[in-house]
Chains A and B, each alone.
Chain A
Amino acid sequence: MTLSERLVALIDNPLISKDAVSRMRTWRAPVTLTIYLGLLSAFGYASFVTTTLMAPSQRTGSALIGAGVFSYLAFIQLSLVSLFAPALAAGAISGERERQTFDVLLVSRMTAGAIVFGKLVSSVAFMLLLILSALPLFAAVFLFGGIDFEQFMVTQVLTVTTAVSIGAVSLFLSAAFRRTLSSTVVSYGVAFAGMIGTLVAGLLFTLALMLRAPGGVNGTTGDAHPLLFANPFYALFVVLNDPNGTPMHLGRLIQLLFFVNGQPATAGPSLEPWQAAVLVQLVLVALSVMGAVHLVQSRRAPMPWRPPVPPEPVGAGDGGGPGEPAGMEVGS
């Protein structure tokens, strides 16, 4: 197979088109889109009004307003994406299992990798559609000025990688749990821990680092703990506000991870918070995909242990046989 053929085979994944068709045929797709854009616009408008009112004078430049509203929008979008992604991906594989279509998929020529890839793309594709549909909103605010193109792009990249990583983790959980309900609940837990938990813990650890610094708070380098440093919200905050915009070396980050407060190490590449966040997210995606492929391949999710199937009702057409349903099938 040549590279281009491989690429075509990768994109020509039947699960992607099948899921896209059946997803877009429901009322849920346009409603989700409407709710998403509605929320984003409402918050955007509210922030616009607040920023304008709070501006010291009417003559405050539009750049200030633009930067303010853009930041609000970016944070709201990141939060919304984190809220929507688990719901979209956590049922991808467990749903097939519940619908009793998974076995048939496994017996087909599709490899475990193709199944996981197809499911990941089909659930992330809808997230991308949401993000893409919100672009005009961001573009409008962008026109006010106050945000440069790089900030604009980094914001979008960070949003997309957050969507993909939460989607991938949820997909893994969907392969690990048999029920969509359980995988959804756990996915929300994990997404919350990843987005908010690391933020809070990171802030506390950073504070601890400051207090433990040799010269006390005054002697601190002010470096953020890696949990905070690689948190998407923090990364977004740094990108948009550039308070000290301090990139850190990978070595220093590892040092801080273990609360080593010595001479800053300079090993490894120097990373800005958003780069660190994207890096961590990509690693998460890779691990989740590998885990999901492994689970699908080994079918470790307890396939033979279906819940007891109630005996079929003895219908008119079912009658007469000597062995009417006498109970559940063992190990089926």
Chain B
Amino acid sequence: MIEVQALHKRFGSQVALESVDFIVPRAEIFGFVGPNGAGKTTTIRILATLAVPDSGTATVGGIPVTDDPHGVRELIGYMPDFFGVYDRLTSDEYLQFYAACHGVPHRRRRAVAHELLELVDLGERAGDQVDTLSRGMKQRLCLARALVHDPSVLLLDEPASGLDPRARIEMRELIRELRRMGKTILVSSHILPELEELCTWVGFIDRGRMVAAGPMADVRNRVLAGRRLRVELVDADDIKLFAARDQIADRPGVIEVQLVENSLEVAVEDGFADQDLLTALVHAGVAVRSFSQVTGDLSEAFMRLTGPGVERQR
């Protein structure tokens, strides 16, 4: 649905994008991850027809953004990283205004605004002036605004920035809901854990270059060489841990087993059947207290991939 190839863009002497390539298939959620200043916003602005690349191509739904910006605008709903709202308009009027800007016929505008306010859970605030809403509500209203013309692609630039944890979760649920509605979603963030659970595809960008991109599992495999499982034992001591380790170390699909703080960490190949490992342990009489997948791995991989760039101060 979105295809970006060899995108290059410079502002004066500063290179914003050096070489950006990725694709986002239909109805996937693409997490666009990179430190601030990596080029996420520039890429999204190019896709939103607000900036023109110096070279390279970007297409949305098969339409090149530079050749037919109007056609692309019909397809996309764009939520910028910084956005304002109009004072002295109610949420309802706000959405109706944008519905009108997007050419929604007069008789449909009220219904569209109503439906979207319900979708983003602002139905009860329809009559409230926009500037009285909380930041989380404004952000949700802005997402609703991006949906007034029922676009098939959503470009969300840091939709969760500045939100408290609860509002973040609400935003995440909303994005999932939109995917269920069949929308293709590109969502950017400089915080990976925020996207890790949400996205089905992921792309890492650093200093204007794509470091890795593709389906979540592929990228994970590529950058992590397998997943890690954590096994905790009841009353763990060294004897029990070593015994358990010997039970599983030679199983096919197990890459390595490490002792980490009174528990075992098992690196396994992708596609490894986790339940078989658990069954084997139980059969061998090992008292397992918990068995889980180690999360946050991707963050480490991301740190490794982007290197010092993450800490870099500009």
Given the known inter-chain contacts A18-B89, A317-B168, A332-B45, please indicate yes or no for A108 contacting B312, CB distance below 8 A. Answer: no
Q: Which of B35, B81, B101, B193 contacts A14 (CB 8 A)?
A: B101
**A103–B98 touching, CB < 8 Å:** no
Q: Is residue B100 within 8 Å, beta carbon to beta carbon, of the partner chain? A: yes
Determine how close the nearest CB of chain B comes to the CB of A316; give it in whole angstroms.
Answer: 7
Q: Interface readout for B141-165 with A: 1 if CB under 8 Å, 0 if not?
A: 0000100010000000000011111
Q: Which of B41, B70, B194 contacts A332 (CB 8 A)?
A: B41
Q: Is residue B30 within 8 Å, beta carbon to beta carbon, of the partner chain? A: no
**A321–B313 touching, CB < 8 Å:** no
**B contact residues around A332 at 8 Å (CB):** 41-42, 45, 81
Q: Tell me the bound Cα distance from A312 to B160 in angstroms.
A: 13
Q: Tell me the bound Cα distance from A106 to B163 in angstroms.
A: 26
**A323–B192 touching, CB < 8 Å:** yes
Q: Tell me the bound Cα distance from A34 to B11 in angstroms.
A: 48
Q: Tell me the bound Cα distance from A326 to B308 in angstroms.
A: 11
Q: Which of A101, A107, A320, A329 contacts B86 (CB 8 A)?
A: A101
Q: Interface readout for A280-323 with B: 1 if CB under 8 Å, 0 if not?
A: 00000000000000000001000111100101100111101111
Q: Is residue B31 within 8 Å, beta carbon to beta carbon, of the partner chain? A: no
Of residues A100, A321, A323, which shows the largest number of chain B Cβ atoms within 10 Å of its Cβ? A323
Given the known inter-chain contacts A327-B313, A330-B39, A331-B14, please indicate yes or no for A104 contacting B100, CB distance below 8 A. Answer: no
Q: Which of A105, A305, A327 contacts B101 (CB 8 A)?
A: A105
**A329–B50 touching, CB < 8 Å:** no
Given the known inter-chain contacts A100-B80, A299-B50, please indicate yes or no for A318 contacting B36, CB distance below 8 A. Answer: no
Q: Which of A106, A108, A309, A315 contacts B98 (CB 8 A)?
A: A108
Determine how close the nearest CB of chain A comes to the CB of B70; give it in whole angstroms.
Answer: 8
Q: Tell me the bound Cα distance from A14 to B100 in angstroms.
A: 6
Q: Is residue A110 within 8 Å, beta carbon to beta carbon, of the partner chain? A: yes
Determine how close the nearest CB of chain B comes to the CB of A2; give it in whole angstroms.
Answer: 16
**A contact residues around B9 at 8 Å (CB):** 331
Q: Tell me the bound Cα distance from A21 to B130 in angstroms.
A: 14
Q: Tell me the bound Cα distance from A227 to B136 in angstroms.
A: 57
**A contact residues around B145 at 8 Å (CB):** 104
Q: For A327, give the chain B residue with the smallest CB separation.
A: B314
Q: Interface readout for B195-213 with A: 1 if CB under 8 Å, 0 if not?
A: 0000000000000000000
**B37–A330 touching, CB < 8 Å:** yes
Q: Tell me the bound Cα distance from A322 to B299 in angstroms.
A: 7
Q: Is residue A60 within 8 Å, beta carbon to beta carbon, of the partner chain? A: no
Given the known inter-chain contacts A104-B80, A109-B73, please indicate yes or no for A328 contacting B89, CB distance below 8 A. Answer: no
Q: Is residue A6 within 8 Å, beta carbon to beta carbon, of the partner chain? A: no
Q: Tell me the bound Cα distance from A20 to B229 in angstroms.
A: 61
**A contact residues around B163 at 8 Å (CB):** 317
Q: Is residue A242 within 8 Å, beta carbon to beta carbon, of the partner chain? A: no
**A327–B36 touching, CB < 8 Å:** yes
Determine how close the nearest CB of chain A comes to the CB of B141; give it in whole angstroms.
Answer: 12
**A330–B84 touching, CB < 8 Å:** no
**A contact residues around B39 at 8 Å (CB):** 330-331
Q: Tell me the bound Cα distance from A327 to B34 in angstroms.
A: 13
Q: Interface readout for B56-98 with A: 1 if CB under 8 Å, 0 if not?
A: 0000000000000010011010101111111111000100011
- How many residues on the B side are at the interface (Cβ–Cβ under 8 A)? 64
**A320–B193 touching, CB < 8 Å:** yes
Q: Is residue A4 within 8 Å, beta carbon to beta carbon, of the partner chain? A: no
**A contact residues around B167 at 8 Å (CB):** 317
Q: Tell me the bound Cα distance from A264 to B9 in angstroms.
A: 60
Q: For B78, give the chain A residue with the smallest CB separation.
A: A107
**A contact residues around B85 at 8 Å (CB):** 101
Given the known inter-chain contacts A12-B106, A108-B102, please indicate yes or no for A322 contacting B11, CB distance below 8 A. Answer: no
**A contact residues around B11 at 8 Å (CB):** 304-305, 330-331
**A323–B35 touching, CB < 8 Å:** yes
**A321–B191 touching, CB < 8 Å:** yes
Given the known inter-chain contacts A105-B101, A332-B81, please indicate yes or no for A317 contacting B165, CB distance below 8 A. Answer: yes
**B81–A329 touching, CB < 8 Å:** yes
**B contact residues around A104 at 8 Å (CB):** 78, 80, 83, 98, 145
Determine how close the nearest CB of chain A comes to the CB of B86; give it in whole angstroms.
Answer: 6
**B42–A331 touching, CB < 8 Å:** yes
Q: Tell me the bound Cα distance from A103 to B313 in angstroms.
A: 28
Q: Is residue A25 within 8 Å, beta carbon to beta carbon, of the partner chain? A: yes
Q: Interface readout for A11-55 with B: 1 if CB under 8 Å, 0 if not?
A: 010110110011001100000000000000000000000000000
**A109–B102 touching, CB < 8 Å:** yes
Given the known inter-chain contacts A14-B101, A104-B78, A303-B50, please indicate yes or no for A323 contacting B88, CB distance below 8 A. Answer: no
Q: Which of A12, A101, A326 contacts B312 (CB 8 A)?
A: A326
Q: Is residue A99 within 8 Å, beta carbon to beta carbon, of the partner chain? A: yes
Of residues B49, B88, B149, which shows the largest number of chain A Cβ atoms within 10 Å of its Cβ? B88
**A108–B73 touching, CB < 8 Å:** yes
Determine how close the nearest CB of chain A comes to the CB of B42; give it in whole angstroms.
Answer: 5
**B contact residues around A101 at 8 Å (CB):** 83-86
Q: Is residue A189 within 8 Å, beta carbon to beta carbon, of the partner chain? A: no
Determine how close the nearest CB of chain B comes to the CB of A317; give it in whole angstroms.
Answer: 4
**A322–B302 touching, CB < 8 Å:** yes
List 5 A-B residue pairs with CB atoms under 8 Å apart, sorted by A's residue number. A109-B73, A312-B161, A320-B193, A322-B191, A329-B40
Which residues of chain A have a CB within 8 Å of any CB of chain B?
Answer: 12, 14-15, 17-18, 21-22, 25-26, 99-101, 103-110, 299, 303-306, 309, 311-312, 315-318, 320-332
Other A-B contacts than A309-B82, A330-B14, 15 sampled, CB-CB below 8 A, are A14-B97, A26-B88, A101-B83, A101-B85, A104-B98, A108-B98, A316-B164, A320-B191, A321-B194, A322-B192, A323-B191, A326-B36, A326-B314, A331-B16, A331-B39
